[in-house]
A and B are shown apart, each in its own frame.
Chain A
Amino acid sequence: MRVALLTDIHANRQAFAACLACARAEGTEQFVLLGDYVGYGADPDWCVSTVMDLVAAGAVALQGNHDCAVGNPRVQMNSEARAAIEWTRSQLGREQRSFLAELPLTFEDWGLLFVHADASRPGNWNYVLDAGDAARSIQATTAHVTFCGHVHRPALYSMSTTGKLTTFTPTSDVPIQLLQGRQWLAVLGSVGQPRDGNPAASYAMLDTTRREITYRRAPYDIESAANCIRAQGLPPWLADRLAVGR
């Protein structure tokens, strides 16, 4: 089965639409969305509605920290994210807000675990930034592969049966076999706010039969997305950073 993995969409309609189109074009049979549909970007309404439609059609959607913050003011955030989330709250209807509040933190199937952040304590929203973080997350599960987002920079970790951890920065469009004799943690790049220096929207395709993951990049209309953010009076850096992918 071909599974499209999308995370950290952050209300970027242009990027989300571009990734959905690319993923559909390559024969996606199942969508898994790993959270953070809102915050930072200018189109929370469209993005959440699109996620709701996908879920109605069989997609899996998880909750991210920004989605959680919409209905829970106690979630810790920096000032820009806080400003964006307060504006976002005003843009969403009640049905959308309760959809976000009721999303699950994890999803497990096919021996795979999907979660927004570090899998050892999903509700704490810890980042997986390095080998140490990855080891903590991997050791907390028995899943062959864990998929997460939250970091906005693609990375692929693996731990062998002897506990040795490898770190790898994936090359776009090169399928990587997730070998069975070890556990893997795939950190996905962000759809709506990439921070790895490549401004193109990031998503990944998983082939469960071949046990292969392919990191993908989709070009999108960055200028429109940035202009929408400026037009809504959101912090200007949220618009500027899209063009540089930082």
Chain B
Amino acid sequence: MVKPTLEPGTLIDGFRVEEQLHRGGMATLWRVSSPGVDTPLLMKVPRIGEGEDPAAIVSFEMEQVILPRLAGPHVPRFVAAGDFAVQPYIVMERVAGETLLPRLPRLPLPYAEVAAMGAKIATALDHLHRQHVIHHDIKPSNIMFRPSGEAVLLDYGLACHDQLPDLMQEEFRLPFGTAPYMAPERLLRVRNDPRSDLFSLGVLLYFFTTGVRPFGESETLRGMRRRLWRDPEPPRRLKPDYPPWLQEIVLRCLEIEPAWRHPTAAQLAFDLGNPDSVKLTGRSERIRRDPLSTAWRRRFNRDLTQRRQTTVTAQLASAPIVAIAIDLGEGSLALHDELREMTRRILATLPSARLACLNVLKLGRISMDTTLDEQGHNKHIDRLVALRHWASPLKLGDSQLTVHVIEAVDPAAAIVEFASVNRVNHIVLGARQNSMMRSILGSVSAKVAAEATCTVTVVRPAQTEAAATAQPDQAPQAVEA
């Protein structure tokens, strides 16, 4: 054991050490202050020296490299790093509040609460993966929530960045991480699959809803390797009232083969945020584990050991969420066909993409709207049916397609908000046909194109013959915004 080199009052590069907050296996955490900085600061100092794990050094070096490259509310803000030659440290924002760790004695928690929490964590993972980083240590003690609600992911000591050398890969013969949460492929030294983080989140969701860890707490390699072929008890066996949609999501996260999990964290967040849209498969019904014969067959499955040549970016790009806004009221048949054709083209090369068809049910600004039309039909349900009908020629699997009717006063704002909340990668919508309507009501597509934070494609149908003669080169067109 090495004596701590720091003590309250020590000054390091202008940071004044205040008190020790935590002493972990690989590092100690100190509260520090700096003149002129109002936000609370945290200094992380690695435990290096005789008798300490050499892993701590490599892990800390990686965190020093990765943390400064990350941005956004889901990561503690990086402030400064100290050289190994003098005193290695990282100073970062101290996020207020507690991690999920103190909640463990009170498990299980209500399903809705865990699902909401899971959606926030999945959204944070999506942000992280989009910045080329796989966390590799998702567990309760590494997750906090900001007062504004966003999940914050802590500790990048095991993380890898797909544009930087992975120093952790070669350093250890044995997989390094937190045993109960580690994805099966990690046991085979695969470190480049972002879906490993989805597995860990699945373990957390299972644990928080049942109070039981799906793969126990075994720390031995032999015990951990069981998850390569043995599936966990379905949650419904432990809790008969377990919602089928939640079991569907949790067991999909815990699939042994990464390809069977949600393709991206954004798609997982989408499911957790839209329980009604979750496509239920055999997973949701299951009350027993797979028969031993299946498990035995899996034991000799060699697919998992194949090293994947894909990057985080490629995996994310192959599975976007595409939102298509369809105007059922005004849109012409030609526009509907053109929108469908555009959608078909976008999905053609993306088998893991997910299509969200949405329609905005416009509400009056003042009048009290009824959901029933003059004939007493439920407008909401009619539109869901119409959306499904529009999408049926695309022949998408149920797990690839969701339909949504949103009630809103401002259709453009509703589409932009839907895209932002659901981490949509690409919005496709038609341009309003009737130029008089457009001049009175304004262009929804123009507003969406201007305000959305993702790619927007505005589709126009082929022009009528009369118009085409006037403008011969105005073929069907799409505008990328």
Q: How far is the CB of B66 from chain A (nearest CB, A)?
A: 10
| Majority-rule SS of A interface residues | loop
Binds B, one of A74-82, A112-120, A172-180: A172-180
Tell me the total A-B contact number using a CB cutoff of 8 A: 42
B165 at the interface (CB under 8 A from A): yes
Residues in B whose Cβ lies below 8 Å from that of A11:
none
| Structural contact, A179 and B65, CB atoms closer than 8 A | yes
Q: For A158, give its contact among B54, B83, B85, B167 (CB under 8 Å).
A: B167
Q: How far is the CB of A134 from chain B (nearest CB, A)?
A: 12
- A164 CA to B168 CA in the complex, in Å? 10
Q: Which chain A residue shows the least CB distance to B58?
A: A160
| Structural contact, A166 and B169, CB atoms closer than 8 A | yes
Residues 43-73 of B contacting A (Cβ, < 8 Å) = 54, 57-58, 61, 64-65
Taken residue by residue from 133 to 167, chain B's Cβ proximity to chain A (1 for < 8 Å, 0 otherwise) reads as 00000000000000000000000000000011111
A237 at the interface (CB under 8 A from B): no
A93 at the interface (CB under 8 A from B): no
| Structural contact, A168 and B165, CB atoms closer than 8 A | yes
Q: For A168, give its contact among B61, B84, B85, B166 (CB under 8 Å).
A: B166
Residues in A whose Cβ lies below 8 Å from that of B170:
160, 164-167
Residues in A whose Cβ lies below 8 Å from that of B54:
161-162
| Structural contact, A164 and B163, CB atoms closer than 8 A | no
Residues in B whose Cβ lies below 8 Å from that of A151:
none
Q: Which chain B residue shows the least CB distance to A180?
A: B84
| Structural contact, A166 and B84, CB atoms closer than 8 A | no
| Structural contact, B171 and A160, CB atoms closer than 8 A | yes
| Structural contact, B163 and A166, CB atoms closer than 8 A | no
Residues in A whose Cβ lies below 8 Å from that of B58:
160, 181
Q: Which chain A residue shows the least CB distance to B60?
A: A181
Residues in B whose Cβ lies below 8 Å from that of A177:
65
Residues in B whose Cβ lies below 8 Å from that of A179:
61, 64-65, 84, 167
Residues in A whose Cβ lies below 8 Å from that of B83:
180
- A166 CA to B160 CA in the complex, in Å? 13
Residues in B whose Cβ lies below 8 Å from that of A180:
83-85
Q: How far is the CB of B164 from chain A (nearest CB, A)?
A: 6
Q: How far is the CB of B50 from chain A (nearest CB, A)?
A: 14
Residues 76-99 of B contacting A (Cβ, < 8 Å) = 83-85
Total interface residues on B, using CB and 8 Å? 17
Residues in B whose Cβ lies below 8 Å from that of A174:
163-164
Residues in A whose Cβ lies below 8 Å from that of B165:
156, 158, 166-168, 176
Q: Which chain B residue shows the least CB distance to A158?
A: B165
Q: How far is the CB of A181 from chain B (nearest CB, A)?
A: 6
| Structural contact, A166 and B166, CB atoms closer than 8 A | yes
- A73 CA to B5 CA in the complex, in Å? 62
Total interface residues on A, using CB and 8 Å? 18
| Structural contact, B164 and A181, CB atoms closer than 8 A | no
- A158 CA to B166 CA in the complex, in Å? 10
A91 at the interface (CB under 8 A from B): no
- A166 CA to B166 CA in the complex, in Å? 7
Residues 107-145 of B contacting A (Cβ, < 8 Å) = none
- A161 CA to B171 CA in the complex, in Å? 10
Taken residue by residue from 141 to 183, chain A's Cβ proximity to chain B (1 for < 8 Å, 0 otherwise) reads as 0000000000000001010111011111001001011011110
Q: Which chain A residue shows the least CB distance to B165?
A: A168
- A164 CA to B54 CA in the complex, in Å? 12
- A160 CA to B166 CA in the complex, in Å? 12
Determine which residue in B58, B165, B170 has the highest number of CB atoms from chain A within 10 A of its CB, and name it: B165
- A165 CA to B166 CA in the complex, in Å? 11
Q: How far is the CB of A239 from chain B (nearest CB, A)?
A: 31
| Structural contact, B171 and A162, CB atoms closer than 8 A | yes
Determine which residue in A160, A161, A167 has the highest number of CB atoms from chain B within 10 A of its CB, and name it: A160
- A180 CA to B84 CA in the complex, in Å? 7
Residues in B whose Cβ lies below 8 Å from that of A166:
165-167, 169-170
Q: A156-B165, A166-B166, A176-B164 are in contact. Are A181 and B65 (CB under 8 A)?
A: no
Q: How far is the CB of B377 from chain A (nearest CB, A)?
A: 55
| Structural contact, B171 and A181, CB atoms closer than 8 A | no
- A160 CA to B169 CA in the complex, in Å? 12
| Structural contact, A160 and B164, CB atoms closer than 8 A | no
Q: Which chain B residue shows the least CB distance to A159?
A: B170
- A162 CA to B57 CA in the complex, in Å? 11
Q: Which chain A residue shows the least CB distance to B171?
A: A164
Taken residue by residue from 179 to 212, chain A's Cβ proximity to chain B (1 for < 8 Å, 0 otherwise) reads as 1111000000000000000000000000000000
- A164 CA to B167 CA in the complex, in Å? 9
- A182 CA to B134 CA in the complex, in Å? 23
Residues in B whose Cβ lies below 8 Å from that of A181:
57-58, 61, 84
Taken residue by residue from 440 to 456, chain B's Cβ proximity to chain A (1 for < 8 Å, 0 otherwise) reads as 00000000000000000
Taken residue by residue from 12 to 44, chain A's Cβ proximity to chain B (1 for < 8 Å, 0 otherwise) reads as 000000000000000000000000000000000
- A156 CA to B165 CA in the complex, in Å? 8
- A164 CA to B173 CA in the complex, in Å? 10
Residues in A whose Cβ lies below 8 Å from that of B61:
179, 181
Residues in A whose Cβ lies below 8 Å from that of B57:
181
Q: Could you name 12 residue pairs across A and B whose Cβ atoms are closer than 8 Å?
A: A158-B167, A160-B171, A164-B170, A166-B169, A166-B170, A174-B163, A176-B164, A177-B65, A179-B61, A179-B167, A180-B84, A181-B84
Q: Which residues of B contact A (CB under 8 A)?
A: 54, 57-58, 61, 64-65, 83-85, 163-167, 169-171
Q: Which residues of A contact B (CB under 8 A)?
A: 156, 158, 160-162, 164-168, 171, 174, 176-177, 179-182
Closest 8 pairs between A and B when the two form their complex, measured CB to CB: A168-B165, A171-B163, A174-B163, A164-B170, A166-B170, A179-B61, A166-B165, A164-B171
**Apart from the given pairs A156-B165, A164-B170, 19 other A-B contacts in the complex at a CB distance below 8 Å:** A158-B167, A160-B58, A164-B171, A165-B170, A166-B166, A166-B169, A167-B165, A167-B170, A168-B164, A168-B165, A171-B163, A174-B163, A174-B164, A176-B164, A177-B65, A179-B61, A179-B65, A180-B83, A180-B84
